[in-house]
C-alpha cells in the first residue's frame, strides 16, 4: 500500500477570511513511513493580515510548501460550526488556496496534511480569527410567529437594498425554508430590492410546521457588505380553508380540507365597482369598521356615497376589499351584484365566516367583471402568478446558482460526507428541506407584478 498524491478540493463555506504568515518546520522520521507518527508539516499558512492580528475576510487563504520534495496531500479549513471552506490544490501539490470567501467575525481551524520525498506524513493544525464586518445585512422574516392559513406567503425584509444579481443569488441561497410534513417545491420571489416572498408551487400542507432561517451571518454578499445574525421564524398552518365566490351565481362555497361546509348567498361589486377576480388571502379581521365612500374617492352626497357601520369584516386587500355583513342588501344576495366591490352577506353568515377563517386562508373570486388581483401591491396576490411565472422572480438562475454555491453556507453534515456543497436546499423537499404543500391553485396566469408592495398603514379605504 502506498500514499498516492491526489487533488483535494476542500469544502466551501459561506464566510470570508484574512492573512498572516505562519512558518512550519519539518521533522524527519524513520522506519515504515505508513506507521510513522506524522511530523510537523513543512507548510506555510498565509492569510491577509488585519487590525489586531486577525485575518482579513476579503483576502484568500493560502497554504504552500517548500520545494524540498514535500507536497500537500490534504487541506481542510472549517469554521466553528464545522462548515468547510472550498479550495483548490495545485497539480504539483505545492500550493492550496481557498476559492470561496471566508466569513467575517469567525474562528477558523486549518488542518494541513503533507508527505515528504520519502513518503513520511506531516500534519499541521492552525487556528485564526477573521475580523468582524463593519456593516451587516439583516433579514426580518414575516409574518409574526403563529398559525395561518395554507395560502400565507413567507416574507423577508432586508435591512439594505440588494440590486446586483449575483449578490441577490447569495442572499436568496442563504434563506432557508423547511416544512413538516413534506411540502411541494417552493421558491423566493424578489418583489423589490429589499423584499422577498416565498411560496410553494401549490398551497402549504394543512397542519404543517414551517421553519424559516437565514445562514447569512458572516457571508460576504458584495463589496464590504456581509450578512449579520438574524432571528429564525416558525409558523404553523391550520386546516385548509378555501372560500370560493362565483360572481355569476352570487354564491360562496366554503370548504375545509376539501369538503364543502357551507354555501352562502352573497352579493359582489356592481358594474363600475366590480370585485377583483383571483386568489386573495385573509389579511386580518375587524369586528366593526365605519366605512365611508370618501376613502375610495366617491364624493360625499353623490348617488354612490355611503357612510355605514359594518360588522364582521374580514379584510382581503389593503385598499379596502372585505367580506362583511351587509344587511341592507340581503334582498339581492344570491341573485344580483350591488356592492361597491366587497363581498356582502347576511349578518348571521358574516359572523359565521368571521369565526371560521384566519389570516392566510384562501378567498377566491371567479366570473367577476373586475380586474385580476395584482400579486404584491395590495395584499397577498402571490397565487395569481403561475409557478413558471413565480420562478422567474428568483435570482437563482444558472449564474445565480453558481454565485450562491460559491458564497452560501453549506449543510455541515452533507459537506463533511461528500466534499461538495450547495448554496441552496434542493427543490425536492422533505420535512427538513425547503417545503411547500398540497395542491391548491389551477395555475391561471396573472398580471405582471407591481414594482413594490404597498404600505398597509397608508392604505385604509373601505368598500361596501
For the residues of 50-111, what is the DSSP string, one character each?
A: -GGG-B-TBSPPEEEE-SSS-EEEEEEEEETT-PBPPEEE-TTSSEEEESSPBPTT-EEEEE
Instruction: Mark residue 419 as left, alpha or beta (left: phi above 0; alpha: psi -120 to 50; beta: remaining).
Output: left
pLDDT of residue 425: 33
Output the CA–CA distances (angstroms, integers) from residue 49 to 130, 131, 327, in the order listed.
9, 10, 75
Measured CA to CA, the distance from residue 344 to residue 86 in angstroms comes to: 60
Greater confidence, 345 or 4? 345
Residue 293 carries which DSSP code? G
Residues 97 and 85 sit within 8 Å (Cβ to Cβ): no
Average pLDDT over residues 417-435: 33
Q: Which residues pair with 159 in a beta bridge?
A: none
Mean pLDDT of 435-442: 32
d(CA 273, CA 275): 6
Dump the DSSP string for 160-192.
Answer: S---SHHHHHHHHHTEEEEEES----EEEEEEE
Interacting residues of 311 by C-beta distance below 8 A, sequence separation 6+? 287, 288, 324, 325, 347, 350, 351
Residue 305 pLDDT greater than 50, yes or no: yes
Per residue in 201-251, pLDDT tens? 999 999 999 999 999 998 999 988 999 889 999 999 999 999 999 999 999
DSSP state string for 399-416? HHHHHHHHHSPPPHHHHH
Is 90 exceeded by the pLDDT of residue 19? no
Residues annotated as catalytic (active site), given as ranges:
324, 342
Instruction: Please report which confidence band the pLDDT of residue 402 belongs to, taking 50, 70 and 90 as the band edges.
Output: low
Contact 395, 168 (CB under 8 A): yes
- Cis check for the bond before 238: say yes or no (omega within 30 of 0): no
User: Is pLDDT of 57 > 70?
Assistant: yes
Query: Which of 9-18, 73-82, 332-341 ranks highest by mean pLDDT?
Result: 332-341
Q: Residue 115: is its pLDDT beyond 70?
A: yes
Strands 95-98 and 136-137: unpaired
- DSSP for 306-372, please give it: -EEEEEEEEE--TTS-EEEE-GGGTTTTTT---BSSSEEE-HHHHHHHHHH--TT-EEEEES-SSPB
Average of per-residue pLDDT across 73-79 = 87
Q: What is the mean pLDDT of residues 423-452?
A: 33
**pLDDT exceeds cutoff 60 at 355:** yes
pLDDT of 359 strictly over 50: yes
* Residue 346 CA: distances (Å) to CA of 11, 253, 329, 355: 63, 15, 8, 14
Q: Region 396-416: what's the mean pLDDT?
A: 53
The cell 451587516 sits on which residue?
A: 136
Distance CA 71, CA 95 (A): 8
Cα separation, 454 vs 5, in Å, equals 60
The residues, ordered by sequence, that sit 6+ positions from 438 with a Cβ below 8 Å of its Cβ are 150, 183, 184, 202, 203, 204, 205, 206, 240
Q: Are strands 87-89 and 95-98 parallel, antiparallel or unpaired?
A: antiparallel
| The predicted structure's pLDDT at residue 48 | 66
Cα–Cα dist 360/328, whole Å: 29
Angle value at C-alpha 209, between 207 and 210, nearest 5 degrees = 130
Band (45; pLDDT cuts 50, 70, 90)? low
Q: Which residue has the higher pLDDT, 91 or 332?
A: 332
- Tell me the per-residue pLDDT of 267-291, one tens digit each, with 9 for 90 and over: 999 999 999 999 999 999 999 998 8
More confident call, 242 vs 46: 242
State the pLDDT at residue 303.
84
Least Cα distance to 413 among 422, 402, 403 occurs for 422
As a whole number of angstroms, the distance between CA 354 and CA 332 comes to 21
3-class DSSP state for residue 457?
A: helix
Tell me if 214 sits within 8 A of 10, measured CB to CB. Answer: no
Strands 322-325 and 39-40 come out as: unpaired
* Range 124-129 average pLDDT: 87
* Nearest CA among 239, 316, 245 for reference residue 283: 316
Q: Residues 335-359: what's their mean pLDDT?
A: 97
Residue 237: predicted pLDDT: 98
Please give the average per-residue pLDDT across 173-181, as a whole number: 97
pLDDT-derived band at 258 (thresholds 50, 70, 90) equals very high
What is the grid cell recorded at 79?
Answer: 469554521
Query: How large a percentage of the chain has pLDDT more than 70?
Result: 74
Other Cβ atoms closer than 10 A to 13: 33
Helix (H, G, I), strand (E, B) or coil at 260: strand
Separation CA 184–CA 186 (nearest Å): 6
pTM: 0.69
Tell me the pLDDT band of 400, cut-offs 50, 70 and 90. low
Supply φ then ψ for residue 286, to 5 degrees.
Answer: -130, 120
Q: Calculate mean pLDDT across residues 322-346.
A: 97
Which residues, other chains included, contact 45 with Cβ-Cβ below 8 Å and sequence gap of 6+?
A: 21, 22, 24, 61, 62, 63, 110, 112, 124, 126
Amino acid at each position: 500500500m502506498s500514499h498516492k498524491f491526489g487533488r483535494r478540493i476542500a469544502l466551501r463555506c459561506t464566510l470570508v477570511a484574512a492573512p498572516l504568515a505562519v512558518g512550519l518546520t519539518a521533522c524527519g522520521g524513520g522506519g515504515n513511513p505508513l506507521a510513522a507518527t506524522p511530523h510537523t508539516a513543512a507548510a506555510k499558512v498565509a492569510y491577509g493580515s488585519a487590525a489586531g492580528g486577525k485575518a482579513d475576510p476579503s483576502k484568500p487563504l493560502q497554504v504552500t510548501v517548500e520545494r524540498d520534495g514535500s507536497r500537500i496531500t490534504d487541506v481542510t479549513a472549517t469554521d466553528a460550526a464545522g462548515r468547510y471552506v472550498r479550495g483548490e490544490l495545485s497539480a504539483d501539490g505545492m500550493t492550496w488556496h481557498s476559492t470561496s470567501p471566508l466569513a467575517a467575525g469567525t474562528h477558523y481551524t486549518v488542518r494541513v496534511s503533507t508527505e515528504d520525498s520519502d513518503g513520511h506524513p506531516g500534519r499541521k493544525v492552525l487556528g485564526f480569527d477573521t475580523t468582524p464586518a463593519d456593516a451587516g445585512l439583516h433579514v426580518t422574516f414575516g409574518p409574526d410567529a403563529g398559525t395561518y392559513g395554507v395560502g400565507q406567503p413567507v416574507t423577508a425584509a432586508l435591512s439594505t437594498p440588494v440590486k446586483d444579481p449575483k449578490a441577490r443569488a447569495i442572499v436568496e441561497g442563504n434563506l432557508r425554508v423547511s416544512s413538516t410534513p413534506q411540502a411541494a417545491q417552493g421558491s423566493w420571489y424578489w418583489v423589490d430590492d429589499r423584499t422577498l416572498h416565498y411560496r410553494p408551487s401549490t398551497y402549504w400542507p394543512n397542519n404543517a410546521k414551517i421553519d424559516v432561517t437565514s445562514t447569512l451571518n458572516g457571508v460576504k454578499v458584495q463589496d464590504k457588505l456581509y450578512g449579520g445574525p438574524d432571528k429564525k421564524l416558525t409558523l404553523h398552518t391550520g386546516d385548509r380553508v378555501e372560500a370560493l365566490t362565483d360572481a355569476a351565481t352570487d354564491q360562496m362555497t366554503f370548504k375545509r380540507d376539501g369538503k364543502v361546509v357551507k354555501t352562502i348567498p352573497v352579493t359582489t361589486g356592481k358594474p363600475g365597482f366590480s370585485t377583483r377576480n383571483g386568489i386573495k388571502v385573509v389579511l386580518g379581521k375587524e369586528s366593526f369598521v365605519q366605512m365611508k365612500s370618501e376613502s375610495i374617492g366617491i364624493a360625499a352626497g353623490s348617488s354612490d356615497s355611503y357612510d355605514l357601520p359594518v360588522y364582521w369584516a374580514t379584510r382581503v386587500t389593503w385598499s379596502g376589499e372585505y367580506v362583511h355583513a351587509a344587511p341592507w342588501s340581503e334582498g339581492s344576495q344570491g341573485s344580483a351584484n350591488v356592492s361597491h366591490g366587497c363581498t356582502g352577506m347576511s349578518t348571521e353568515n358574516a359572523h359565521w365566516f368571521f369565526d371560521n377563517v384566519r389570516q392566510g386562508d384562501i378567498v377566491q373570486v371567479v366570473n367577476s367583471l373586475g380586474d385580476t388581483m395584482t400579486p404584491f401591491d395590495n395584499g397577498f396576490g402571490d397565487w395569481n402568478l403561475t409557478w413558471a411565472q413565480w420562478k422567474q422572480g428568483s435570482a437563482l438562475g444558472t449564474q445565480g446558482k453558481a454565485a450562491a454555491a460559491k458564497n452560501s453556507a453549506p449543510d455541515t453534515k452533507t459537506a463533511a460526507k461528500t466534499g461538495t456543497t450547495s448554496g441552496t436546499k434542493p427543490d425536492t423537499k422533505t420535512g427538513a428541506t425547503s417545503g411547500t404543500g398540497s395542491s391548491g391553485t389551477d395555475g391561471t396566469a396573472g398580471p405582471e407584478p407591481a414594482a413594490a408592495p404597498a404600505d398597509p398603514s397608508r392604505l385604509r379605504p373601505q368598500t361596501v
